[in-house]
Amino acid sequence: MPLTIREQREALEEVIAPRGFKSKDSRGRLQEEEPCPIRTCFQRDIDRIIHSKAFRRLIHKTQVFLQPEGDHYRTRLTHTLEVSRIARTISRALGLNEDLTEAIAMGHDLGHTPFGHAGERALNVILANEGGFSHGDQSLRVVDRIERGGRGLNLTYEVRDGIKNHSSGRSRLTLEAQVVHLADQVAYINHDLDDALRAGIITEEEIPDEILCAFGETNSSRINTIITDIIETSRNTDQVELSPGLNFAFATFRAYMFENVYTNMRAKSEEKKVFGLVSAIFEHYVQNPDKLPPEYRALAEEDGLRRAVADYVSGMTDKYAVAVYNDLFIPAAWQIK
Residue 73 pLDDT class (50, 70, 90 cuts): confident
Q: Give 133: exposed, middle or buried? Use CB within 10 Å, 0-12, 13-18, 19+.
A: buried
pLDDT recorded at residue 213: 96
Residue 54 to residue 5: CA distance in whole angstroms? 29
CATH classification of the domain holding 104: 1.10.3210.10
Per-residue pLDDT at 72 exceeds 70: no
For the chain, how many structural domains are there in total? 1
Which position has the higher pLDDT, 99 or 330? 99
Domain range enclosing 136: 5-334
| pLDDT of residue 36 exceeding 90 | yes
The arithmetic mean of pLDDT across residues 112-138, rounded, is 95
Give the least confident one: 56-60, 115-119, 134-138, 321-325.
115-119
Q: Is the pLDDT confidence value at 80 over 70?
A: yes
The residue length of the chain stands at 337
What pLDDT is attached to residue 62? 84
How confident is the model at residue 66, as a pLDDT? 59
- The answer to whether residue 270 scores a pLDDT higher than 80 is no
Over residues 128-132, the mean pLDDT reads 95
Contact between 37 and 95 (Cβ < 8 Å): no
Q: Is the pLDDT of residue 305 over 70?
A: yes
Q: Is 123's pLDDT higher than 80?
A: yes
The identity of residue 91, as a single letter, is S
Please give the angle made by the CA atoms of 113, 118 and 120, to the nearest 5 degrees.
45
138 class by beta-carbon count within 10 Å (0-12 exposed, 13-18 middle, 19+ buried): buried
> Which band of pLDDT confidence, cut at 50, 70 and 90, is reported for residue 1?
confident
Give backbone dihedrals phi and psi of 139, rounded to 5 degrees, phi first.
Answer: -60, -40
